[in-house]
Structure 1
Amino acid sequence: MQDVTAVRTSVLPPYAAHLRVYEPLAALPEPDRARWQAELAGRGPDAASADQPVARAALEAQREALAELLPRPSRAAPSWDGAAREHEGAFVRVVDSVAYVCPWATRLRSWQALEELRDSLPVTLLETVLPRTVREEALAAQASWRSAHPDARPWILTSRWEVPVRWFLPFGPEDRRYLPAGGPGQGEGVEPAALFYLTTMAQARRRVARGYRVLREKLSGTPLAEGAEEVGRWLEEFHPRSLVELDYGGLVHVMGEQTLAADQSAGELADGLAALRAGDADTAAQVYETVTERWRRVQALRQAN
């Protein structure tokens, strides 16, 4: 953990990983489809192939999010007046000449983050960050918005200071893309390192279902088994020809390139499940401990001064 990646930019992404779904542009409803077709024609994709990360676009999204913190009084989420649509950004990938879109859904994700914040911070600190009146207004808006959008779900899940082990279930070692830092950036010095996995929805669902079956049989009721069911249910919400991406995001800046190059968490978890399926519980337990210990070390950095 000593070889921390240096990034020459005035804004660092948060130390968070992201699980994303990109739906085919052609599958989006109007008017969203037409809007994104026009924007894609004007600015191009954030990643023009399966081997390119969306790191630059994610950094730009972070800049926009920081700008949203400037208004006073504080806002817990983008405002909603009962009629406004979610006219905001998305990550766009092009793979094999097909365009895929992952909307940010900032309002929905902000409300989810507010719930997590409420559960994780002491009341006094929470009151300083977001006063009670601001939280109450946000929760009232959330309830109203939910009644108008009962089937809404985020295209992006976020985890701070770790990649949850269950998030590796949709991927195989062949889906891994690691790009060391280097090469010219776009006015920001060198390109930062990136580590991400990308696969098809069909493969992701198949792997999660297969993993869940063995976990339910061998380790029913454990956090990993319940997590596999949770990931599987979330993936079922999207178009069957979507793409699924696990992006280490800002975690690359605390893990360091040596650790990133050696990280094979998805492949190790797949090996552990294969051992569990074959009845080799000792090997499966050893693999699981290796993966979880790796992420415990990253999580420990949260408390570092």
Structure 2
Amino acid sequence: MLGVTDVHTSVLAPYAAHLRVYEPLAAYPEPDRTRWQEYVAARGPDAGSAAEPVTEAALEAQRGALAELASRTPRALPERESGRAFVRLVDGVTYVCPWSTRLRSWQALEELRESLPDALLDTVLPQPVRRRALAAQARWRAAHPDDRPWILTSRWEVPVRWFLPFGDEDRRFLPAQPARGDQPARPATLFYLTPMAQARRRVARGYRVLREQLRGTPLALGAEEVGRWLEDFHPRSLVELDYGGLVHAIGARRLAADRSAAELAQGLAALRAGDGEGAARAYEVVLERWRVIQELRYAN
């Protein structure tokens, strides 16, 4: 397909983007802190600076998910929570983002229930399997009422609201690298990384103008949703938006030109200044970019 990145690898990441929060190691209570300290000591960081992606670790997570799917007995979610995490080292501080695979599997199950017709859902996950999963979720929620995922996932698009925490200066784009000698080919990477304090300020400013000018719209409601999610984490955390496997659907040229966070910020600035037409134009540019990618979902 024209414009789609061609990458030769044993595992191709799904067409999904991820919004992650990395909390500083010191923010975790015991015994989690000691457990993550031992984990980091044994494995080291997945990214040694703010400019490095966690692509290899994300592919490792995908390989684990595929292994789960290969199970002979259908399972709606892993039997136990993952003990794995994405680890970043930035300016000498270690940040940890737990995979929370089981919790995210429950969320994916809820999305499936909402998006698939009953007949197809019963084929993918039989009713007895879903009932056991939901019963396990209820028991877990009763024991962990305040827990939340460190990672949000979106398939076939980056929701516009996810760009609110970021500025163009947070953008990191690494072009694809062909295979060289013993080094395998590396796909292009696009991600944003910013401190939590900055992310919260941007979301709060954006939400104020959206609430005043566009109350009740999907973007205004989405800004509120993102803001509430960020408030659950340590104030010295890092927030990351990773295009993940979507880079393969976007294509190299369009990926290099993608400045969605900057365009959304321009639209909000225009809206704040009373320039409704300018705001609409900027917002439509972002929407159209992701509309094209979403349409690939239904391509043969």
TM-score, normalised by the number of residues in structure 1? 0.96
Three-state SS of the structure 1 residue aligned to 2:286 is helix
Residues 66-75 or 124-133, more deviating: 66-75
Where does residue 271 of structure 2 map in the other structure? Answer: 276
Where does residue 6 of structure 1 map in the other structure? Answer: 6
Q: Distance in 2 between matches of 1:188 and 1:63?
A: 20
Displacement of 1:124 in angstroms is 1.4
Where does residue 67 of structure 1 map in the other structure? Answer: 67
Displacement of 1:211 in angstroms is 0.2
Where does residue 53 of structure 2 map in the other structure? Answer: 53
Deviations 1:189-222 (A, max 9, x none): 2111100000000000000000000000000000
Q: Is the 8 A contact 1:8 1:188 kept in 2?
A: no
Match runs of 1:1-305 below 5 Å:
2-79=2-79, 86-182=81-177, 189-305=184-300
Three-state SS of the structure 2 residue aligned to 1:79 is coil
Displacement of 1:42 in angstroms is 2.1
Q: Distance in 2 between matches of 1:262 and 1:192?
A: 16
Q: Would the alpha carbon gap of residues 28 and 253 (structure 1) be closer, same or farther in structure 2, given more than 3 Å must change?
A: same
Q: Distance in 2 between matches of 1:50 and 1:256?
A: 24
Q: Is the 8 A contact 1:176 1:198 kept in 2?
A: yes
Q: Distance in 2 between matches of 1:32 and 1:179?
A: 33
The aligned amino acid for 2:40 is L
Q: Distance in 1 between matches of 2:203 and 2:139?
A: 34
Deviations 1:14-41 (A, max 9, x none): 1000000000011111222112212212
Q: Is the 8 A contact 1:23 1:101 kept in 2?
A: yes
Displacement of 1:125 in angstroms is 1.2
Three-state SS of the structure 2 residue aligned to 1:204 is helix
Residues 194-203 or 39-48, more deviating: 39-48
Output the aligned Cα RMSD.
Answer: 1.4
Contiguous gaps of at least 5 residues in structure 1: 81-85
Q: Would the alpha carbon gap of residues 237 and 131 (structure 1) be closer, same or farther in structure 2, given more than 3 Å must change?
A: same
Displacement of 1:44 in angstroms is 1.2
Displacement of 1:173 in angstroms is 0.3
Q: Is the 8 A contact 1:9 1:188 kept in 2?
A: no
Q: Is the 8 A contact 1:185 1:191 kept in 2?
A: no
Q: Distance in 2 between matches of 1:199 and 1:252?
A: 20
TM-score, normalised by the number of residues in structure 2? 0.97
Q: Distance in 2 between matches of 1:220 and 1:228?
A: 11
Q: Distance in 2 between matches of 1:188 and 1:39?
A: 27
The aligned amino acid for 2:146 is D
Displacement of 1:3 in angstroms is 2.4
Displacement of 1:185 in angstroms is 8.3
Displacement of 1:112 in angstroms is 0.5
Deviations 1:85-133 (A, max 9, x none): x352110000001000000111110000000001111111111110000
Percent identical residues:
74
Three-state SS of the structure 1 residue aligned to 2:219 is helix
Three-state SS of the structure 2 residue aligned to 1:2 is coil
Displacement of 1:188 in angstroms is 6.9
Deviations 1:166-200 (A, max 9, x none): 00000000000000011658977211110000000
